[in-house]
């Protein structure tokens, strides 16, 4: 008998319960023994649960720990404490812990991986990055010795879902946020999604796997979607640019750098078509050119599937070597242009600024709320600015189609 301890029974925890319960025969065949969910730890004993639960449920950590000699712990409560102490306690007993908690992994992963090593066990966090996409074990396994120069992508399902719904169906911010929460995509505090913290935790985890060491948080600046104005999006849409929350990390030859920020993607960028709760990750390196991983970035089934697969993968491969990325220097500069947005009051200052700094303005687009200027990339501007990824010349084609249909703007 393989005894499972489940910490948390919300969106993800209940998904793990269902995934295990529904695949008992397959698991028995793979593992050679029955799997039993021996105990579940929750916070609120009175809460109405949707699923019928055939397991011991408790709010007491002591009762949970005393219930069984667990063979595997799944942690899905989120946050640092008490998740950190709970995880450490079981790793110290030599029991593998599998988690979806990206905050805990990004902030304390170094300590917890160290504990797992020390006690010859496993700390698995496949589900912590990009929900259902099996990126973590790909990086630790079949890409472990591939020199990676950049990792980038759309890592937050909630905000990508919100941006898609708001742009394509003209829905309001509060309405789509509520829906993302109801669908189980959002964090318990959605500020984590909206202000880019969630994507920031995930890119730091990917950075560790691609470049070999845990990055310092303050080396990864972060900006969320809350500062995006509707009219910025409208101007971008007119010329076929898609706004996305982009997280990236790259090796510049001397150090690893990274960031999370909203950016415009031209139609030449494959990630521009990643819509809804879907996430997309691009891995670049000399011998692989570019690998793209696209799939569900959040939600009960996809995330639970990753947690269970993470455990099974470790069970089947635990005696083989796994590695951490080797990293290589980025060769080609991707960002050549920026989109600057100006209110009418900023226009004069902006004209002065481009003149003084000899910045080439390629195009200007007017809107009743202000102007959008495409400029040559500069490291910083005093105005609201978004990087542009991709070939900006595609805007000409979109403009031509747009003006043929609607007249010029």
Ligand X SMILES: N[C@@H](CC=O)C(=O)O
CA distances to 88, 93, 116, 171 from 122, rounded to whole Å, are 11, 11, 5, 44
Q: Which is nearer to ligand NDP, 3 or 103 (CB)?
A: 103
Tell me what percent of the chain is helix, strand and coil, each rounded to the nearest 5: 40, 25, 35
Is 297 a binding residue for ligand X by CB under 6 A? The answer is: yes
Query: Are 249 and 152 in contact, with CB atoms under 8 Å apart?
Result: yes
Rounded Cα distance between 95 and 88, Å, is 10
Is 12 a binding residue for ligand NDP by CB under 6 A? The answer is: yes
Q: How many residues bind ligand X (CB under 6 A)?
A: 11
Select from ligand X, ligand NDP, none the partner in contact with residue 205, using the beta carbon and a kind-dependent cut-off of 5 to 8 Å: none
Query: Are 312 and 203 in contact, with CB atoms under 8 Å apart?
Result: no
Select from ligand X, ligand NDP, none the partner in contact with residue 184, using the beta carbon and a kind-dependent cut-off of 5 to 8 Å: ligand NDP
Taking alpha carbons only, the member of 250, 239, 298 closest to residue 147 is 250
Is 186 a binding residue for ligand X by CB under 6 A? The answer is: yes
Select from ligand NDP, ligand X, none the partner in contact with residue 203, using the beta carbon and a kind-dependent cut-off of 5 to 8 Å: none
CB of 278 to ligand NDP, least distance (A): 13
Q: Sketch the per residue contact string, 37 through 56, with ligand NDP: x for CB under 6 A, - otherwise.
A: ----xxxx--x---------
Is 146 a binding residue for ligand X by CB under 6 A? The answer is: no
Phi and psi torsions of 168, nearest 5°: -80, -30
Q: Which is nearer to ligand NDP, 14 or 381 (CB)?
A: 14
Give the one residue of 185, 341, 386, 389 binding ligand NDP; rule: CB under 6 A.
Answer: 185
Is 73 a binding residue for ligand X by CB under 6 A? The answer is: no
- Coil/strand/helix, residue 371: strand
Q: Which is nearer to ligand X, 184 or 240 (CB)?
A: 184
Length of the chain: 409
Other C-beta atoms closer than 10 Å to the C-beta of 107 total 18
CB of 44 to ligand NDP, least distance (A): 4
Is 198 a binding residue for ligand X by CB under 6 A? The answer is: yes
Select from ligand NDP, ligand X, none the partner in contact with residue 156, using the beta carbon and a kind-dependent cut-off of 5 to 8 Å: ligand X
Return the range that interacts with ligand X (CB under 6 A); candidates 132-140, 185-193, 231-239, 396-404: 185-193
Give the one residue of 131, 196, 215, 327 binding ligand NDP; rule: CB under 6 A.
Answer: 131
Active-site positions read: 202
CA distances to 70, 73, 131, 136, 143 from 66, rounded to whole Å, are 10, 14, 31, 32, 40
Is 307 a binding residue for ligand NDP by CB under 6 A? The answer is: no
Q: Which DSSP string corresponds to 26-84?
A: HHHHHHSS-EEEEEEE-S-TTSPPSS---SEEES-HHHHHHH---SEEEE-S-SSTTHH
Residue nearest to ligand NDP (CB): 10
Taking alpha carbons only, the member of 293, 279, 308 closest to residue 185 is 279
Select from ligand X, ligand NDP, none the partner in contact with residue 158, using the beta carbon and a kind-dependent cut-off of 5 to 8 Å: ligand X
Give the one residue of 71, 126, 165, 187 binding ligand X; rule: CB under 6 A.
Answer: 187
Is 161 a binding residue for ligand NDP by CB under 6 A? The answer is: no
Residue nearest to ligand X (CB): 158
Is 248 a binding residue for ligand X by CB under 6 A? The answer is: no
Taking alpha carbons only, the member of 229, 234, 226 closest to residue 167 is 234
Return the range that interacts with ligand X (CB under 6 A); candidates 66-74, 182-190, 237-245, 362-370: 182-190
Measured at the alpha carbon of residue 350, what is the angle toward residues 346 and 351, in degrees to the nearest 5? 125
Give the one residue of 5, 9, 264, 372 binding ligand NDP; rule: CB under 6 A.
Answer: 9
Is 101 a binding residue for ligand NDP by CB under 6 A? The answer is: yes
Phi and psi torsions of 324, nearest 5°: -120, 140
Is 131 a binding residue for ligand X by CB under 6 A? The answer is: yes
Q: Which is nearer to ligand NDP, 8 or 124 (CB)?
A: 8
**Residues β-bridged to residue 245:** 262
What separation, in Å, do the N-terminal and C-terminal C-alpha atoms of the chain show? 69
Which residues would be at the binding site for ligand NDP (CB under 6 A)? 8-13, 41-44, 47, 76-78, 82, 100-102, 127, 131, 184-185, 187-188, 298-299, 303
């Amino acid at each position: 008998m393989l005894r499972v301890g489940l910490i948390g029974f919300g969106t993800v925890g209940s998904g793990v319960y269902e995934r295990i319960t529904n695949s008992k025969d397959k698991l028995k065949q793979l593992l050679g023994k029955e799997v039993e969910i021996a105990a579940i730890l929750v916070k609120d004993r009175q809460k109405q649960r949707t699923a019928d639960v055939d397991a011991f449920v408790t709010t007491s950590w002591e009762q949970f720990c005393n219930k069984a000699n667990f063979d595997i712990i799944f942690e899905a409560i989120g946050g640092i404490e008490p998740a950190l102490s709970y995880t450490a306690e079981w790793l110290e007993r030599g029991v593998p812990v599998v988690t979806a908690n990206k905050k805990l992994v990004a902030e304390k992963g170094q300590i917890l991986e160290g504990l797992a090593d020390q006690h010859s066990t496993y700390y698995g966090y496949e589900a912590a990055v990009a929900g259902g996409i099996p990126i973590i074990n790909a990086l630790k396994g079949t890409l472990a010795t591939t020199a990676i120069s950049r990792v980038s992508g759309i890592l937050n399902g909630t905000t990508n879902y919100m941006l898609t719904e708001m742009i394509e169906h003209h829905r309001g911010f509060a309405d789509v946020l509520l829906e993302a929460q109801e669908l189980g995509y959002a964090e318990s505090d959605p500020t984590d999604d909206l202000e880019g913290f969630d994507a920031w935790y995930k890119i730091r985890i990917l950075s560790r796997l691609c470049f070999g060491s845990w990055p310092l948080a303050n080396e990864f600046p972060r900006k969320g979607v809350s500062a995006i104005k509707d009219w910025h999006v409208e101007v971008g849409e007119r010329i076929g640019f898609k706004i996305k929350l982009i997280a990236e990390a790259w090796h510049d030859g001397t150090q690893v750098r990274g960031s999370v920020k909203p950016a415009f993607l031209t139609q030449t960028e494959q990630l521009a078509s990643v819509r809804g709760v879907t996430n997309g990750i691009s891995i670049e390196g000399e011998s692989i050119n570019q690998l793209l991983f696209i799939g569900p970035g959040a939600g009960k089934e996809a995330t639970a599937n990753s947690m269970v697969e993470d455990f099974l993968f470790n069970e089947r491969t635990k005696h083989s070597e796994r590695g951490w990325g080797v990293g290589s220097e980025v060769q080609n500069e991707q960002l050549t242009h920026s989109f600057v947005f100006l209110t009418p009051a900023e226009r004069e200052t902006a004209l002065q600024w481009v003149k003084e700094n000899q910045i080439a303005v390629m195009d200007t687009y007017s809107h009743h709320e202000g102007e959008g200027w495409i400029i040559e990339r500069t490291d910083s501007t005093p105005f609201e600015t978004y990087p542009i990824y991709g070939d900006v010349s595609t805007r000409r084609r979109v403009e031509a189609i747009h003006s043929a249909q609607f007249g010029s703007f």
